[in-house]
């Protein structure tokens, strides 16, 4: 269960507005941020995600796809759905990151080159942001690299700031790890225990462990930040669940991080439902979109055996798979693939056909998944419970979905999307069993 410990510390303020090595200041209450009398409107709480384009470890890490979603998209979704922020911002110096941020519904602050250097600190970028936004009273600095953040965490922290009067709140996680001093040649030749007595090693259940910052978020009021601190004044921590403490700066093994996110991540306000029907666009999803014409004018298409296996696995799991195309393609050619799927071709209105199939099976939209890749798929992608596109889908389709495959159309995208469905269905089953 989440817990909070209250605490405060004192120090001399830093007049240069930069971080100091002393203890942070104990601040007096003032009228800014809703602490004084006669304040008519609540303090403006802004979420701020810092996402520069110059990541050294993983190029453009902040928008690299994690479980089919740009990394920054996970925290933006949580921040927006929490409903506690008057504004949600991304501070960036990169065009692609700006586009992704706007796609998810965030506002963008274009940071200057002065605070986009390798040597620039988070505080530098936050101070610059505040210099341009006088309306902001409290900043919730959320790390883009914490994809398992949930709205409930942000709601509780906002309450601590607004209702309980804390000047700063930061996230921690509890660890049960024994620490030892470092051996340094010529300085310290033996190691010493730092937080245990080796003669009386406690069992895990007999030890509360220790609290560590997990870097997920740092909330602070403007007057504290302007003194050069993100932690200070009346200060508290917020303890996050261990399974939600995923930091991509640490978990650099991307596939492992993806499994954690698929199991513990936040997928939106509405609960996931079990998928009963997958509709797949033929051209550009089942196939790579290339059409070859033989000498006798017959169409020849190519597909990946992995995708055929994906369809087979879906059907064995009780998920109906149907194919659709807005092109006048040959049903005989598709049938020759022996996929045993119902299909409709030459469809001018894909949404109407999918809706008819849905009603025929007695399903709600949340029980339908759709894999598309073109403008003609946009409405279906927006309507269904689970949507996906191949890596080479058009930009319009990519903006409408919740999952972007690593594979291209006709090159394993359908199989990959099937695996994604299976992982989410496992999540649905586990939630029902709780």
One of 23, 29, 110, 201 is an active-site residue; which one? 201
Residue 58 belongs to domain with CATH number? 3.90.550.10
Query: Hey, is 211 helix, strand or coil?
Result: strand
Q: What is d(CA 108, CA 133) in angstroms, rounded to the nearest whole number?
A: 12
Q: C-alpha 329: how far from its chain's center? A: 38
Task: Indicate if 162 belongs to the active site.
Answer: no
Instruction: Taking residues 284-301, report their average pLDDT.
Output: 74
Show the tokens assigned to 81.
């759905």
381: pLDDT strictly greater than 90: yes
The answer to whether 417 and 310 have CB atoms below 8 angstroms apart is yes
Lowest mean pLDDT among 117-126, 170-179, 281-290, 300-309: 300-309
Domain span holding position 129: 45-254
Q: What is the pTM of this model?
A: 0.75
Number of domains forming the structure of the chain: 2
- Of 360, 354, 357, 356, the C-alpha closest to 376 is 354
The answer to whether 71 and 266 have CB atoms below 8 angstroms apart is no
- Of 359, 360, 363, 397, the C-alpha closest to 380 is 397
Residue 292 has a pLDDT of 66
User: Based on the domain organization, do 246 and 324 belong to the same domain?
Assistant: no
Residue 379 has a pLDDT of 95
293: pLDDT strictly greater than 90: no
195: pLDDT strictly greater than 60: yes
7: pLDDT strictly greater than 50: no
User: Based on the domain organization, do 316 and 356 belong to the same domain?
Assistant: yes
Going along 222-349, which residue ranges are E strands?
A: 234-239, 277-281, 292-293, 299-300, 320-324, 342-344
Query: Tokens 């496992």 sit at which residue?
Result: 426
User: Based on the domain organization, do 247 and 326 belong to the same domain?
Assistant: no
Residue 19 has a pLDDT of 37
Question: Residue 10 — pLDDT band, cuts 50, 70, 90?
Answer: very low
Residue 380 has a pLDDT of 95
The answer to whether position 2 is within a domain reads no
Instruction: Taking residues 248-261, report their average pLDDT.
Output: 75
Give CA torsion, residues 114, 118, 119, 124, to 10 deg. 50
Report which of residues 8 and 386 the model is more confident about: 386
16: pLDDT strictly greater than 70: no
31: pLDDT strictly greater than 50: no
Residue 415 belongs to domain with CATH number? 3.40.50.1000
Enter the DSSP assignment of 28.
P
User: Based on the domain organization, do 62 and 143 belong to the same domain?
Assistant: yes
Residue 119 has a pLDDT of 83
Instruction: Taking residues 298-308, report their average pLDDT.
Output: 79
Residue 303 has a pLDDT of 77
User: Based on the domain organization, do 286 and 141 belong to the same domain?
Assistant: no
Region of residue 297 (phi > 0: left; psi between -120 and 50: alpha; otherwise: beta): left
Q: What is the pLDDT of residues 324-352, one digit of tens each?
A: 998 877 666 666 667 888 989 889 999 99
């Amino acid at each position: 269960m989440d817990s909070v410990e209250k605490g405060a510390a004192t120090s001399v303020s830093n007049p240069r507005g930069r971080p100091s090595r002393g203890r942070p200041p104990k601040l007096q209450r003032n009228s800014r941020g809703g602490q004084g009398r006669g304040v008519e409107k609540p303090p403006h709480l802004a979420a701020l995600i810092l996402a520069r384009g110059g990541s050294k470890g993983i190029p453009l890490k902040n928008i690299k796809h994690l479980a089919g979603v740009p990394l920054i998209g996970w925290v933006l979704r949580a921040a927006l759905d929490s409903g506690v922020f008057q504004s949600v911002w991304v501070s960036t110096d990169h065009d692609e990151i700006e586009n992704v941020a706007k796609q998810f519904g965030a506002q963008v602050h274009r940071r200057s080159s002065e605070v986009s250097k390798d040597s620039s600190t988070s505080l530098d970028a936050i101070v610059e942001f505040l210099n341009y936004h006088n309306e902001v009273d409290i900043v919730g600095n959320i790390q883009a690299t914490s994809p398992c953040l949930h709205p409930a965490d942000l709601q509780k922290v906002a309450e601590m700031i607004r209702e309980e009067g804390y000047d700063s709140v930061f996230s921690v996680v509890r660890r049960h790890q024994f620490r030892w001093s470092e051996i340094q040649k010529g300085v310290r030749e033996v190691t010493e225990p730092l937080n245990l007595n080796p003669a009386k090693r406690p069992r895990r259940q007999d030890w509360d462990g220790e609290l560590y910052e997990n870097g997920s978020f740092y909330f602070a009021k403007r007057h504290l930040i302007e003194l050069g601190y993100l932690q200070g004044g009346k200060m508290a921590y917020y303890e996050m669940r261990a399974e939600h403490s995923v930091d991509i700066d640490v978990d650099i093994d991307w596939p492992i991080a993806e499994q954690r996110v698929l199991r513990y991540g936040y997928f939106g306000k509405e609960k996931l439902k079990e998928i009963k029907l997958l509709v797949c666009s033929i051209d550009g999803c089942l196939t790579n979109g290339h059409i070859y014409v033989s000498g006798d004018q017959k169409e020849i298409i190519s597909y990946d055996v992995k995708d055929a296996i994906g369809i087979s696995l879906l059907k064995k799991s009780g998920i109906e798979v149907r194919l659709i195309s807005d092109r006048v393609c040959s049903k005989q050619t598709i049938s020759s693939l022996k996929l045993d799927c119902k299909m409709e071709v030459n469809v001018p209105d894909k949404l109407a056909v999918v809706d008819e199939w849905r009603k025929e099976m007695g399903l709600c939209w949340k029980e339908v998944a759709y894999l598309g890749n073109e403008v003609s798929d946009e409405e279906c992608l927006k309507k269904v419970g689970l949507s996906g596109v191949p890596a080479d889908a058009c930009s319009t389709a990519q903006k409408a979905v919740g999952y972007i495959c690593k594979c291209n159309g006709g090159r394993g995208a359908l199989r990959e999307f099937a695996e994604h469905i299976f992982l989410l269905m496992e999540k649905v089953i586990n939630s029902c069993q709780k």
